[in-house]
Amino acid sequence: MRVPTTYPGVAALRRLQRCMAAACALLAGCALGPDYVRPEVKLPAAYREAQDWQPAQPADAAPRGPWWKAFNDPELDQLQEAAAGANQDVAVAEAHYRQAVASVDLARSAFFPAVTASAGITRTANATNGLKLPPATLHLAQVSASWVPDLWGSVRRSLEAAHANEASSAALLANAVLSLQSELATAYFSLRVADEQQRLLDEAVQAYQHSLDLTLSRYRGGVAAQSDVAQARAQLEATKAQAIDVGIQRGQMEHAIAVLVGKTPEEFALTRRPFVLTVPAVPAQLPASLLQRRPDVASAERLAAAANAQIGVAQAAFFPSLTLSASGGYRAPSGANLLTSPYRFWSLGPTLAETIFDAGARSAVKQQDIAAFDAAAATYRKTVLAALQNVEDELLALRLLAQEAVVEDGAVAAAEDTLRLTNNQYKAGTVSYLNVIIAQTTALNDHVTALNIRSRQMAATVQLFAGLGGDWNPEAGAPARAPTP
């Protein structure tokens, strides 16, 4: 049957609804606790390693761009695309972000009344004035509503904290993606460095084999000593062992890349190929907002905002809470027409509650929240300072490594000239084979050192991208690319 519209509880519920709306409008501007102000961080006027850079306010919403394309390597581009949708660390961060989004919805729900409906059948047996009454069956249908108005802004502060935590979680997701990208790029370049080192050692093995053959020929002709043959063979075998050992590093990097792109090492492989380590040039001037795009800085700042909002929640606990409740329904014995006027009931009324004594529990909670904000603010400042250090470190490394690369390239050229001259002198019989071995070892070591410097330049460039939060030229629509080899 339809519930009669003349039911007296309906009018009361409507009056309660109007009162709730009026209370919301009256109290909308009331929220206890301090309003959030971003913790102040004392920043330098300019970076020591790049005087054109100026500090800026957080700008983590700015685009980060496909910064890895600056290395102009299509294979790396494909790996980054594969890793974006398959990496498990990113999947974990994305799941945590969805949790944070749901927490915002949960906090927002406290603004609205809770409405419940219930229906049931109860079998009871009672005794009245010593007389045992026969068992009776009661049918019940009831609707209840309750609402706690946000008088002191506790719900608003909770929602503010939830929004800040959501933003922090979004920044952590972005940080997981950026960390994945930089880790993948670093592993990829380490693998390619191992390939180049393998090529150098393979070429050295061929050259040392030729030297051994030449020494054996001279020994058979009575020109060279047997010790020369032994030295040539020892050098050849040692270099072969080095070439085998490089395979360990390469294999481990390949396995690491497989995991980053969401595959097992068994089903993933990268073919060896010629590779030129071309380091992108760092622009002379960069936008000041780049450093502040860093998602770890953004996350730390949002956590400070969330901690500040919790102080307001703790402050609101010192004030009384008002609960507005209403209920209505029907209760009838078995066999009666349940949804009829004689069996209806309703209740309506406010409840005001205040804690009189809690032995300082609320004060302790507030002090905890104040301390938590202080810790979050300190963590934010520390994160900013660490970001500054990170960028300075990589700029310094790139500047000095560029100088070192020029010097080492000169050392490689000098070692090649020395080796050529020493070989000619040995063939002419004016120097011993030990001089050849020394010249060959020096030339190989200089080549390996030059390769390692290029490797460190690549790694420092990757870390600079990560330190800046992404591509250093995001507004241009495409990253600055390295020259095509």
Q: CATH no. for residue 221?
A: 1.20.1600.10
Residue 64 lies in a domain: yes
- Contact (CB, 8 A) for 425 and 435: yes
Structure tokens at 110: 């406290």
Cβ within 8 Å of residue 227, ≥6 positions away: 433
pLDDT at 475 over 70: no
Write the pLDDT tens digit of every residue in 139-159: 888 999 999 998 888 999 999
If pLDDT is split at 50, 70 and 90, which confidence band does 222 have?
A: confident
Question: In which band, very low, low, confident or very high, does the pLDDT at 60 lie, cut at 50, 70 and 90?
Answer: low
- pLDDT category at 55 given cuts 50, 70, 90 is very low
Inside any domain, residue 282? yes
Return the pLDDT at 159. Answer: 93
Residue 136 included in any domain? no
Average pLDDT for 6-12? 44
Q: CA 278, 279, 284 angle in degrees (round to 5)?
A: 140
Tokens of 257: 């890349």
pLDDT higher at 339 or 7: 339
Alpha-carbon distance 85 to 263, whole Å? Answer: 12
Is residue 12, in this structure, part of any structural domain at all?
no
d(CA 51, CA 45) in angstroms, rounded, equals 9
Phi-psi region of 365 (alpha: psi -120 to 50; beta: other; left: phi over 0): alpha
In one-letter notation, the amino acid at residue 270 is L
User: What's the confidence (pLDDT) of residue 285?
Assistant: 59
Query: Mean pLDDT across the stretch 424-436?
Result: 89
Please provide the average confidence, as pLDDT, over all residues in the chain. 84
Q: Could you tell me if residue 465 is inside a domain?
A: yes
Largest separation between any pair of C-alpha atoms in the chain: 134
Map tokens 């030295």 to a residue.
231
Number of domains in the chain: 1
Task: Tell me what the mean pLDDT of segment 196-215 comes to.
Answer: 93
Read off the pLDDT of residues 284-293 as tens digits, 9 standing for 90 and up: 655 555 666 7
Residue 283 lies in a domain: yes
Of how many residues is the chain composed?
A: 485
Residue 25 has pLDDT above 70, yes or no: no
In this predicted structure, the answer to whether residue 116 has a pLDDT above a threshold of 90 is yes
Asked whether residue 3 is domain-assigned, the answer is: no
The whole-model pTM stands at 0.79
- Res. 257: pLDDT tops 60: yes
Q: What's the pLDDT at 473?
A: 67
Q: Is residue 147 a part of any domain in this protein?
A: no
Dump the DSSP string for 142-202. Answer: EEEEEE---TTSHHHHHHHHHHHHHHHHHHHHHHHHHHHHHHHHHHHHHHHHHHHHHHHHH
Quote the distance between the C-alpha of residue 354 and its chain's center: 43
- The H-assigned helical ranges of 226-360 are 226-260, 295-316
**What is the C-alpha separation between 15 and 150, in angstroms, rounded?**
19
Which residue range(s) make up the domain with 260? 34-111+153-319+361-476
